[in-house]
Structure formats: C-alpha cells, structure tokens
Structure 1
C-alpha cells in the first residue's frame, strides 16, 4: 500500500541530510572573518580572498563578489554597456533573474525555446530571433548542467554577440574540461544558501577576462564610483548600485569553495546513479547528460509521462498524484517554474519601470509582445516537470548512494508496484480540478 493511503513510507524524516553541509572549518572561517572585520573597511579581506579563489577556480583573470546572483548577472550585462534599445536572447525556461538582469539595463529580453533533452537554450532556435538590435545571449546552465557552449560561441562569433553565462545553478560542473563561471565572455553565479556553492545566506560572483568590463562591474557594484586601490573620489562615473557582499558570507563561501571539487564529484555520482536507476521505471523520464559535460544536480529534473503507463489522464493531474504519493513516501518532489518566463505577469502586462519602459521608451523596437505558446518545448517541460534537489532533497554530501537507493525504491513502489493506486489517485486529482 502506498504511504498516502496508509502504508509505511520508504524513507523516514531523517533520511535526507540538508544542504549545505556545514563543517567545523566553515564555522572557524566565519569566526575569523568576524574578528578581522572590525574596523569596517571596504573591501574586506575575506571578500578579496573569495574573489581570488573563484578567479583561480574558474581560470578567469577577474572576479568580483556581489551580494546576490541577481546582482552578479546585472553587473555582467551592465558591464558590457548593453542598454536602451538593445535586445538580449534569454531561454524561455529559467529563473526570472536571467531575464530581469536585461531589464535592469533598460534593454529588451527576447526569449528562445530550450532543448528538449538538456533543457538549456536551444542553439538551433537562436538565429531566427537575431535582429540588428541583438547584442548578447544569456546562456543558463540550468539544473546544474552547462549549456552547449561550442554551438553558442559559433553563433556569437558569426553575429558578433556577447555570451553572458548564468551559472547560478551549476558551480562545480564542467564543459569540455572547463569550469562553469568561465564558459561565457562574462559570467554571473549565485551564492544563495541553497546553491551548489553556498554563502549560507545570499551572494554572487562575477567573472570575466576583459579588463574594461571588470572595471565597469566594479563601478556597478559600488554606486558608480571607483575605489579599489584608489582614494575614493565620491564621484559616480556611471549608474551604480550597492552590490557589496558581506564579509561573513564571503568567508563561508570561501571555505565551501575549498571543498567544491569533492562536493561536485559526489553530486554528479549521486545524480548519475539515480538517473540510471530510474531508466526502467515507466512514467518518469530522468535527466540526460551530454558527452563532454558534467552535471552537478542542483535540481534533478524529472518529466512525468502518464502515456508511458498507458494512462489517458491529464498530465497535470498525473504530476500532482506522483508528487503527492512520493512526498508521502518521504521523497520531497516539488514543482519548479510553472510557466515559461515570458508567460509571467511582468511580461504579459509589460509595465516595466512604469509606462511600459523599456519597451516603450523610444529606443526599443515597437510592437514587442510575449506569447508563452510560442515556446512549445518550454511549455511542455513546465507541464511535466518535477524536481528533487536544492536544500531539502540534496544530492550533495553527506548524502550518498544509500539515499539514492531510497529514492529509487520509492519511485519503483509508486510507479511500478502500486501503479493501480497511483492511477486511482490521479483520477481523484483530475476530478478535484
């Protein structure tokens, strides 16, 4: 009997160790930062050490720490002087910040559908969206898997475009031996507490090899002013913000970064093991990792497929039933991004900064509209997707193969051993909605 119907759950409430794993070394690093952060003086030593370590890890010339991944992405877009009237290509399936970083520069996001296997931006869809106004591509390393950078760089070279890498979900992953954070012309990564490299609170990291863009990013970070290595002039040269990272968050992230290669290996092994274990379980499709890439499974995305079980039922009802049944078994499956980003109210009402800016500011092409049905792959993913991962169902250490076996056992129980109960539960969800 399924646990949702009164049976015994596969996993108990203590089976999953939450993410991030906090060690004594992390605690000591934060205490050291606390001791040396007085008197308060910018930039903090711990922030500088994090920047240097991230630059080394990614093989980048320059790194700047920020107070969120969203800030780091905005810094990346603004550093290139993308601005009013410019267009930037963004995958239709991503977190909102991949698109709002474009709006923050008063530029216009143009959405592109994603690949049905990798869920990252589909290179074959890009060129038909390019116009004389197109300046850049936001390449999102979604779920923990790098985008197809060979194809993206070929397109960028052909059309003289900039690639901004959004590596928020994929620290520690690699593409053809190169680290996430170094795969675009610039990159913005998140240090949100749930991420594969965590500051336990909020934080972000910007990287580039371009000295001018690095200087611009520093200005965006600090009110438009220039301060590093100089006496502060209190003279804003450009529009800037206060994107500075807290020293305690920097110290925690720096300590975690020392273990990132080892943690990433565990994440990859766990996710790959579970994906293989689910290959023969009908009704859910596990993720695929292309040759030449590694996946660190910030999210482990699953596509529900009731048709594979011979069930003629609404996909959304089946997804709700699988989610509810699995959660009762102790597996915290959840939904993520329920609609294409261009379907969100922000892009449907297009109020922007007010009065429709940046779309109506006079620099942008007129007549822009966003139709979420224009992205059929993304639309289908949003209908079918369930995810494991993030903080509460972590694929990171100390979780290991034992937990993955527990997950696999629960999927087998729900979708194979008690399929009739799942079908009945699906009917109940379909009737209720």
Structure 2
C-alpha cells in the first residue's frame, strides 16, 4: 500500500544524509579563519586562498570571490562590457539570477528555448535571437550538467559575442575534459550552502582569463574602486557595490574545495547508480548525460510521463503532483523547481524593472520588447513535467553512496510499478476534484 494511503514508507527518517557534508577539517578551517581575521583587514587569507584554489581548479588565472553567485554573475556581465540597451541571450529555463544579472547592467535579457535532452540552452535556437544589439551569451550548466560549449562558442565567435558560463550548479563537472567554471570566456559560480561546492552560507566566484575583465570585476565588487595592493584610495571609478565574501564562508568553501574531486566522484557514481536502478521504471524520464561530459547532480531532474503508463487522460500537472505527493510520503524529498520559464515570471510579464519600465523604456533599448512564454515550448514542457531530487533534501553527494541510491530507486519502483494502479486512481480522482 502506498504510504500516502497509510502504508509503511520505504525510507525511514534520516535514510539520506543532508548536504553539505561537514567534516572536522571544515570546522578547523573556519576557526583558523576566525583567528586570522583579527585585526580586521581585506582581503583576508582565506579569501585569497579560495580565489587561488578555484583558479587552479577551473583553469582560470583571475578569480574574484563574491558574496553570492548572483553577485558573481553581475560581475561577469559588467566585466564583459555589457551596458545600457545591449542584449544578452539567456536560457528560458533557468534560475532568475541568470537573467536578472543582465538587468543589473541596464541591459535586456533575450531568452532562448531549451534542449529537451540536456535542459541547457539549445544551440540550434540561438541565431534566430541574435540582433545588432546582442553583446553576450549566458550559458547555464543546469542541474550540474554543462551546456554544449563548443557549439555555443562557435556561434559566439561567428557573431563576436562574449560567452559567459553560469556554473552555479556544476562545480566539479567536465565538458570534453575541461572543468566547469572554465568553459566560457568568463564565469560566475555560486557557493550557496546547497551547492555542490558549498560555503554553508552564501558566496560566489567570478573567473576569467583576461586581466582587464578581472580588474573590472574587482571594481564592481568593491564600491567601484581600483584595488592595486597599495591600500584603498576611496575613489570610485565606476558604479560598484559591496560584494565582498564573508571570510568564514570563504574558509568553509576553501576547505570543501580541497575535497571537491573526491566528492564529485561520489556524485557521479551515485547518479549513475540511480539511473541504472530506474531503468525500466515507466512514467518518468531520468536525466540524460551525453558521453562528452559529466553530470554532478546538484539536481537529479525527472520528467513525468503519464502517457507511458497508458494514462494520457490524466493531465501532466495532475500526474506530476500525484507522483510528488506519493514519493514524499515514502520518505524521499522531492519537489518542483522553477514551475515556469523565467520569461513567464511577473518581472518580465509586467516589465516594471527598476520602475517606469526601465531598462526596457529608458531610451537605450531597441524596443518594444515583449516576453511571450509560448515562444519557449520546450522550456514550458520541462517546467510542467519536472520534479527534482538533490540539493539539501535528497542529496546525491557524500556520505550518501550507491547503496543509498538503490534505496531511493525502491521508492519509484513502489510508486510507479508495484502500486501503479493506486497511483493512477489517486491521480484520476485528483483530476475530477480539480474539475479538469
């Protein structure tokens, strides 16, 4: 019997360890940074060490640590030279920060539909969105899987565009042997506590191969001031913010980074084990991993497919919600993520921006701009069908291992195979209740 109907759950509380995985080494690193931070100074040792280590990890010689991934992306857009009225191509299916960083430069996000297999920006759909005002492409390594960077770079080179990598979810992943964070001309990464590389709190990393871009990013990070190692002159050269990372967050992230390779290997093994164990389970599509890249499963995305169960009469959203409810009752954390494409969000539908419609109406943009969700049918389908495991609530990271993944797969076998009729009956009842 399904647990949602009173049966015994497959997983007991605590069957999956939460993320991040904190060890004694992390605690010592934070305490050491606390001792070294007095008297207060900037940048502190833990910050410099984190920047150096991330540069080595992603093969990017110039790194700036920031207080969030959102800040790091804003720094990347500014360093790329994006300004008022410029247009930047962004995937329609992503987190808001991939697009709002463009608005922070008073520039215009232009959305591109998604590849159904990889959840990344579809390279075949890019050129139809390029105009004379397009300045950059922001590619997103969604869920922990890098986008198709060689295809994206070819388009970028042909049109003279800067390629920015949003590597917020992909620390440790690779594309054709190259590390995430170093796959574009410059990149922004998140260190949010839930991420594969965690600061426990908040943090971010900007990275580039270009020294001038690095200097611009540092200005954005530090009130617009030029930092030359000789102390501050309190002279803002441009608009800047206070994006400095907290030293304790930097220390925790640096400690985690020293084990990123080991943690990544476990994530990859866990994802492969779970996908193998779900083979043949109908009604869901596990993530697809092209052979030229690795997936680190910040999220393990599943697309629900009631039609595969002979249940095309059940609307996809109703079936999705029934699966979510049933899986949760079995003790496994699962949720929806990004229930609509970013251009469907109120910010882009009402286009109020900073007020009075800026940046769309501030005289620099080439308008009028309108965001029509129906122009992104693949992103809409993904958002309608998607459920995710991962993050902090059902982590694929250590100390969870392949044996734990087999227990996770048992939940789906129970819900979609053993108790399939009960699930479909529940979903059909929900359909009637909803008046669909």
TM-score (norm 2): 0.99
Q: How does 1:62-101 map to 2 (within 5 A)?
A: 62-101=62-101
C-alpha distance in structure 2 between counterparts of 1:249 and 1:232, whole Å: 23
What secondary structure does 2:360 align onto? coil
What secondary structure does 1:370 align onto? coil
Counterpart position of 1:211: 211
Counterpart position of 1:239: 239
Greater shift after overlay, 228-237 or 150-159? Answer: 228-237
1:432: how far off? 2.9
C-alpha distance in structure 2 between counterparts of 1:73 and 1:79, whole Å: 10
Deviation >4 Å, runs of 4+: none
C-alpha distance in structure 1 between counterparts of 2:350 and 2:307, whole Å: 36
C-alpha distance in structure 2 between counterparts of 1:32 and 1:432, whole Å: 58
C-alpha distance in structure 1 between counterparts of 2:150 and 2:295, whole Å: 17
Question: Is 1:304 the equivalent of 2:290?
Answer: no
C-alpha distance in structure 2 between counterparts of 1:432 and 1:212, whole Å: 60
C-alpha distance in structure 2 between counterparts of 1:71 and 1:12, whole Å: 39
C-alpha distance in structure 1 between counterparts of 2:203 and 2:391, whole Å: 16
**Preserved CA contact (<8 Å) 1:140 1:166:** yes
Greater shift after overlay, 273-282 or 349-358? Answer: 273-282
**Preserved CA contact (<8 Å) 1:43 1:228:** no
C-alpha distance in structure 1 between counterparts of 2:341 and 2:198, whole Å: 27
Aligned length: 433
Counterpart position of 1:407: 408
Counterpart position of 1:339: 340
What secondary structure does 2:111 align onto? strand
Gaps of 5+ in 2: none
Counterpart position of 1:364: 365
Per-residue deviation, residues 311-348 of structure 1 (Å, max 9, x unmatched)? 12110110011000010111111000000100000000
What secondary structure does 1:163 align onto? strand
Question: Is 1:355 the equivalent of 2:356?
Answer: yes
Indicate the RMSD between aligned Cα atoms, in angstroms.
Answer: 0.7
1:428: how far off? 2.5
**Preserved CA contact (<8 Å) 1:17 1:394:** yes
Per-residue deviation, residues 353-407 of structure 1 (Å, max 9, x unmatched)? 1110100011101110000111000000000000000011000000011211111
1:429: how far off? 2.1
**Preserved CA contact (<8 Å) 1:279 1:285:** no
C-alpha distance in structure 2 between counterparts of 1:111 and 1:272, whole Å: 31
What secondary structure does 2:126 align onto? helix
Counterpart position of 1:432: 433
Counterpart position of 1:265: 265
What secondary structure does 1:150 align onto? helix
Counterpart position of 1:29: 29
Counterpart position of 2:319: 318
1:226: how far off? 1.6
Gaps of 5+ in 1: none
Counterpart position of 2:40: 40
C-alpha distance in structure 2 between counterparts of 1:371 and 1:266, whole Å: 41
Judged with a 3 Å threshold, the aligned counterparts in structure 2 of structure 1 residues 387 and 124 are, in CA distance, closer, same or farther, namely same
TM-score (norm 1): 0.99
Counterpart position of 1:170: 170
1:161: how far off? 0.5
What secondary structure does 1:207 align onto? strand
Per-residue deviation, residues 130-182 of structure 1 (Å, max 9, x unmatched)? 00000000000000000000100000010000001000001000001111110
